[in-house]
Structure 1
Amino acid sequence: MTLSPLVVLDCDSTTIQDEVIELLAEAAGSRDQVAEVTERAMRGELDFAESLAERVSTLQGTAETVFAQAYGRVRLSPGIRELIAAVHERGGKVGVVSGGFHEVLDPLAEDLGLDFWRANRLEVIDGHLTGRTVGPVIDAAAKAAALREWAEASGIPLTATIAIGDGANDLEMMGVAAIGVGYNAKPVVQDRADVSITDDLALAIPLLDRLA
């Protein structure tokens, strides 16, 4: 009998097609600069926490109305609703852990019916972004810790877990999970993933029946 699974996904460029930091940076006029840093971080060429701080600093002074603008432009990745439905049909749980931001992930989680979610939080003072985050940085280690925490909270063994991501900061959680899936992944992730899929997250559904 297949156990109820836990599937944990990265958010940006996995659950959704976009990089939220880039949507926010577009409003701040710094998208090109931010996109270059994001790409290098996802390839594993930069420390994630340092790259996050560098990118967030470009948002200083932007009005907090940018969150709703960014969420309005988010595009779901093909197959995400089907994958979530398949996990829930098996009595399982779905979590999204993001190096992005709660301010966009919170409404997305409600829309998708996620069981768990975690992300960075941007500091806002007097209605404007300060260019800093508050609280712990959700880096590679934090993503792996979230998967372990959610599995324990759900009574789901790690042998019944799948982690799906595209960037270098997803590798630790992919290593913890029974099956690590690269989705439209950077080369460093493709090299280490157990399975690689492209363009449609529903392609991960058959993997649910490989869990024990």
Structure 2
Amino acid sequence: MALPYVLTLIADRAHGPLNPAVVRTARDMLGGAAPIELSPGEAVDIPCPSPGPGAPGAAALRAAFAPHRVDAIFQRVRGRRKAVLIADMDSTIVANETLDDLAALAGCGEAVAAITQASMNGEIEFEDALRQRVALLKGRPATLLKRAWSETRINPDARTVVQTMRRHNARTALVSGGFTWFTARVAEACGFDEHHGNALTLSGDTLAGTLHAEILGPDAKRLHLERLAEERGVKLSATCAIGDGANDIPMLTMAGLGLAFHGKPRVRAVVERQINFTGLRTVLFAQGYPAASFVE
């Protein structure tokens, strides 16, 4: 009979290959079976029995393998592959914080970055922080949007994650507290089925310093997750969400597979499954996809 749980180990390829000794340690900790290779020297699945009394939890597993720069994701085998993917944009699908970049070009970068950091750490309510930041852009030329986009870098394997999941009939959405001006372009570049964000108001050829629709914040991200699951005809357990900031917590904790991607401290404190050392390929490895099946 197949074992009901699986531990996926993923190595930071820039740091070196996955050490067989690490895999043996993981098997010993959980009483696991022989590893199943997902990517040579990079990722393995270790089938495991149901955790009994005293079995190491998620935090203990992360701590055990952190010195090796290995991410460890423990979960049930049943239902691993998800029918919905919902992803944050800034510092997740793209390497940038697009609002901070826009502000830097506008000459108010330090003030906006400080508010962003406080918001992502949960020190300021997201909606208040966004209004404060956008107000600082008032009167700046709208051409700064194009300049900020030219400096935006999509993270490695973002398109691979989206296209692989779409190949397997998943619905994919980019849902950001940032601006639709950027989400539209990132969604097109990666191939997301849909995108959502906040709409900047323009006054002629300048930024008006306001938003011209209801703010898309943490609750809206969660509601999009619920909607996507309903439209796809699946339970929330069949969804995957990925993000890094405090405004992502509601969707990350509700999704069947919520992954904190190089998350802020507040996010790591509450989200059990974390990508701390590796890249976006881990979203696919966590679902049991071997590298050979990735849509590159």
TM-score, normalized by length of structure 2? 0.68
User: Over aligned residue pairs, what C-alpha RMSD do you find?
Assistant: 1.6
User: What letter matches 2:110 in structure 1?
Assistant: D
Gaps of 5+ in 1: none
Pairing partner for 1:201 from 260, 269, 280: 280
Residue-pair matches, total: 210
Are 1:8 and 2:81 an aligned pair?
Answer: no
Matching residue of 1:182: 260
Question: Which structure has the higher relative contact order (CA within 8 Å, separation 6+)?
Answer: 1
**Contact 2:83/2:232 (8 A) holds in 1:** no
Pairing partner for 1:22 from 96, 100, 103: 100
For residues 2-81 of structure 1, the aligned pairs below 5 Å read 5-81=83-159
**Contact 2:94/2:154 (8 A) holds in 1:** yes
- Deviation of residue 4 (structure 1)? 5.3
Pairing partner for 1:172 from 239, 244, 250: 250
C-alpha deviations, 1:171-192, integer Å up to 9, x for none? 0011221111100101111121
User: What letter matches 2:287 in structure 1?
Assistant: L
Gaps of 5+ in 2: 1-77, 290-296
**Contact 1:5/1:208 (8 A) holds in 2:** no
C-alpha deviations, 1:53-77, integer Å up to 9, x for none? 1110111011111221111111111
Matching residue of 2:197: 119
For residues 283 and 191 of structure 2, what CA distance do their matches in structure 1 show? 18
C-alpha deviations, 1:100-129, integer Å up to 9, x for none? 000111111111111121000100011111
- Whose helix proportion is higher, 1 or 2? 1
User: What letter matches 1:208 in structure 2?
Assistant: Q
User: What letter matches 2:113 in structure 1?
Assistant: A
User: What letter matches 2:280 in structure 1?
Assistant: L
For residues 157 and 168 of structure 1, what CA distance do their matches in structure 2 show? 24
Give the secondary-structure state (helix, strand or coil) at the position aligned to 1:181: strand
TM-score, normalized by length of structure 1? 0.94
Are 1:135 and 2:213 an aligned pair?
Answer: yes
Q: Computing the radius of gyration over CA atoms, which structure comes out larger, 1 or 2?
A: 2
Where has structure 1 moved over 3 Å in runs of 4 or more? 1-4
